Chain A
């Protein structure tokens, strides 16, 4: 919210200088976003009255004005130029903020224009360019506008949702006065506030059909209103708030919204059929055109202000607590208005606002909760201003339809809690002063048993701890010291963020990426990974509509982005969202392995990548195995299921060429493994005391038999003395039968206690050869 410093200074006695005030506000929890210096009207611009206006061509008019000294002729194209109006006149020689050059006498459409009449934007005082700044009679002809419209500083506050009371100058001033210990000048002080009466002889009628949603409703008739521009001080105040002045009636209601924090609305009496206002739920499908010309289709949950319709029943003319309708708007010809100041229940206003995506000054206040004691005060303030500024004659009585207010329970408060929780010592009498200054009523029942009744405007104060915060806040958080508690707690040595895994991968030369959890149906399909299970209801576009079911699409996109990189080794640790959420590591390799640049690089093929995974497992003391299993996204001949200590955890292989082509990511090797990949505690084995006996055997077998199968068959046949078995050569080519391969195996046998004899080893090898023969394989020794 924007808080003009000059206005604040009128409300708080002894307000310190600007920066000091801003620091005080920040220290009170009214966060200061920025401080804007807002310039006043440009020097040299004067108030002038329009004496005559004569069309020239199109919108252009030749306008005669009086600037208090003499008459001038200016060319003007503004639609709101009227004879008798007061406007801002910039004579030749004026420097206007948006203009590069100083204003000169010049010819415009055949009119010799001695300067110009200015719009608010041309003056740089608020954002409106569709017409001239229209001034009221309070602006004397010939006056320097800059004297009436000086510069000011505006403190922009970023208010938290709990501080409903601070959405007004009054609320901000109240906090500052409490902190400073100085007097607050209430804007409605001295006004006679009517008691309110459900039956006032004002020719109006109010029917509240939903008192839960509208617990209080005041309406006051004001006749004899002259609708015209507001006085300069009011226009300037609104401009500083960031609002556009419109006419005195609308401006007064807007002013009071920001001044007291209570929204209000003035109805043109002619728009109220029979002077009747009804507060009811909208009919299904009922329509309303708002002030902003939005046509809304209403929901039965919406609360509307309605008036009887000529054709029977009633029609909505406003969305309660959110926005007025177009039809009841005050017009230039309006003379009688009915000023509504009501309370609307926060949740209903919030839901309606969200439903129709309307964020208005009224909604912001009602949904946070407006002081229930405020409607009659605000009504008195609005109607008094209409009497003062628009010549209105408020009806002596105020129509008032209100349900009895529920009593706000007092809070049991122990002043000792401030020391206990915040660890600052604030003497009880000082605590009491703080609480009373923000409007609480304090009853001391015992030294550490108080009853504190919060003011009507602080509905956020509900619990003892809320009062502790109030005391700490007014005392100042800067008094809080730094201490260190002693806790009997020893954290267990866990690694939930998989640091060890990441460190090993980085140590092996891999680069960590972090991708998006958001993806699209299309990307998941293109990567041939599972369809999305989780869909966002309001995504940021179809590219971010669903949650990823695999880490690979993100890595493929990165591979495409880095398509010029000769070598790529990426990984990501992240969550994927299937029927349940799980953590995974995704890996991607492309291009060569180790390289020097000046001699041929080592191949970075599938076996090099597999070797990295094996080394990873070895480093964590675990066993990683692969089993040929086809996966949709992988090359059918280079695709395996990965097991960690025998449990399947994911897949590994070469990306399917069709998928690679669809992504433009090149020929890549990928893996995706479920986390955690648990480290296995080392189990120490006794060191062998005997040497091993070694035998080699080259087996010729069909090329499509997996090595793992051959190895398992040999190991099973060789018996318990076999301690090691591995391939040291794999050959496929002219030396072996077509469709076959030769795998050279090395067997190592050992007896734990004694040296093996050749006869024993030969017997074990014979068993191996028998098993190979049974399987139909040949061998060469």
Chain B
């Protein structure tokens, strides 16, 4: 055994060769093992000197083996890492992100606001009857107020609801006050279709009934909603108007900055008022007051996101739908 051995270890080309060297030197029948085994046969003085030399030798070989092993492993790792290198600037493989419809996004945003204000979300049928859509909401038969809601009648005498207000009646018929509810949903008007008018659109309506709900509570609720949507300092305005199912009735507007023009102005949003006594009468409520307010989702969505043609919202054109990815 000489320095060639250490040299062989230091230049072993791979881990297998190195292992072979380890077996040859340190294995059960390896050179050094055999040398150590044969020590017993030597006389004591020679055994000590020889033993010391052999052990010294074994430590040197072991150290050389470990060093070479570490070097080879590092080289192998380096080679593997180099081989596994990837260009991470190439596009990933993926399913493109999905998208909620813009109207769903706007509705969800509003529903979140109402949920935080303690409202229950309820929904109702789109195909309605005269009583729920008109009669119980104090639209007398043959009253011109019905002309303000151009109605799609069905051949079997039903109608497509012209507003979400029938749910006021349905909810009150099956629940007892006090409550706060909000009703999102699709509604229909038999009007000429153009860039700003569709025969179907969406509304959101809130109804609060309790022992003594006031018109100031109504204004407070609208202001809360506007604040949640647009931030603090938002102003709201009520102007008198007429809807058969509220008295006093009002239209409401919120003061905002138009996203396109940047001008601050009133955004006329919807109608509101105190629930008409005849509506309470129709559902069998006594001794309570309440307010309701409602507005169109499309208008809010269109001015907020600068959609110029309402019909684009219902065409299912991916090029439009995909633009509203990722937000919910």
Contact = CB atoms under 8 A, between A and B. Distances in A.
Given A367-B144, A421-B289, A536-B154, A554 B184 contact: no
Interface string B69-113: 000000000000000000000111111111111011001100100
Given A512-B101, A570-B316, A482 B118 contact: no
Given A480-B238, A491-B119, A536-B154, A513 B91 contact: no
Interface of B: 90-101, 103-104, 107-108, 111, 115, 118-123, 125-127, 142-145, 147-148, 152-156, 158, 160, 178-180, 184, 186, 188, 190, 193, 199-200, 208, 210, 212-217, 219-221, 223-224, 236-242, 244, 247-251, 274, 276-277, 289, 313-318, 321-322, 325, 328
A555 B315 CA distance: 10
A536 to B, nearest CB: 5
A457 B119 CA distance: 41
Given A465-B248, A509-B97, A514-B101, 12 more contacts: A29-B242, A423-B214, A481-B216, A489-B120, A495-B121, A514-B316, A516-B314, A517-B126, A547-B127, A562-B316, A570-B316, A574-B186
A484 interface: yes
A160 B148 CA distance: 9
Interface of A: 26-29, 31, 160-163, 346-347, 350-351, 367-368, 420-424, 463, 465-466, 468-469, 472-473, 477-478, 480-485, 487-492, 494-497, 499, 502-503, 505-518, 534-540, 544, 547, 554-555, 557-558, 561-562, 565, 567-570, 574-575, 577, 581, 593-599, 601-602
B111 A497 contact: yes
Contacts of A557: 316
Contacts of A507: 98
A550 to B, nearest CB: 15
Given A480-B219, A491-B119, A561-B315, A26 B180 contact: no
Nearest to A492: B120
A526 B147 CA distance: 36
Contact of A489 (B103, B152, B154, B179): B179
A517 B186 CA distance: 10
Contacts of B313: 514
A568 to B, nearest CB: 7
A598 B217 contact: no
Contacts of A469: 240, 247-249
A496 B239 contact: no
Nearest to B249: A469
Given A489-B178, A510-B98, A598-B91, A422 B242 contact: no
Nearest to A554: B316
Given A480-B216, A511-B318, A491 B242 contact: no
A488 B213 CA distance: 13
8 contacts: A423-B215, A472-B240, A473-B240, A482-B220, A489-B178, A503-B100, A547-B127, A565-B318
Q: Which 9 A-B pairs have the closest CB atoms?
A: A558-B316, A29-B240, A160-B242, A491-B120, A509-B95, A469-B248, A506-B98, A423-B216, A596-B93
A594 B104 contact: no
B118 A31 contact: no
A412 B102 CA distance: 50
A367 to B, nearest CB: 5
B248 A537 contact: no
B220 A575 contact: no
Given A482-B220, A499-B108, A597 B186 contact: no
Contacts of B223: 482
A13 B104 CA distance: 52
Given A421-B215, A512-B98, A465 B274 contact: yes
Nearest to A547: B127
Contacts of B103: 514
A511 B127 contact: no
A497 B199 CA distance: 22
B239 A31 contact: yes
A516 B221 CA distance: 32
Nearest to A483: B216
B90 A496 contact: no
Contact of A597 (B91, B145, B216, B322): B91
A509 B96 contact: yes
Contacts of B100: 502-503, 506, 512
B94 A577 contact: no
Contacts of A539: 152
A385 B148 CA distance: 36
A534 B328 CA distance: 34
Find the residue from B90, B93, B103, B180 having the highest chain A CB count within 10 A. B93
Given A537-B154, A557-B316, A561-B316, A497 B97 contact: no
A483 B217 contact: yes
B318 A595 contact: no
Nearest to B318: A562
A506 B101 CA distance: 10
Contact of A491 (B118, B152, B193): B118
A599 B99 CA distance: 25
Given A473-B248, A492-B120, A497-B123, A29 B241 contact: yes
Contacts of A561: 315-317
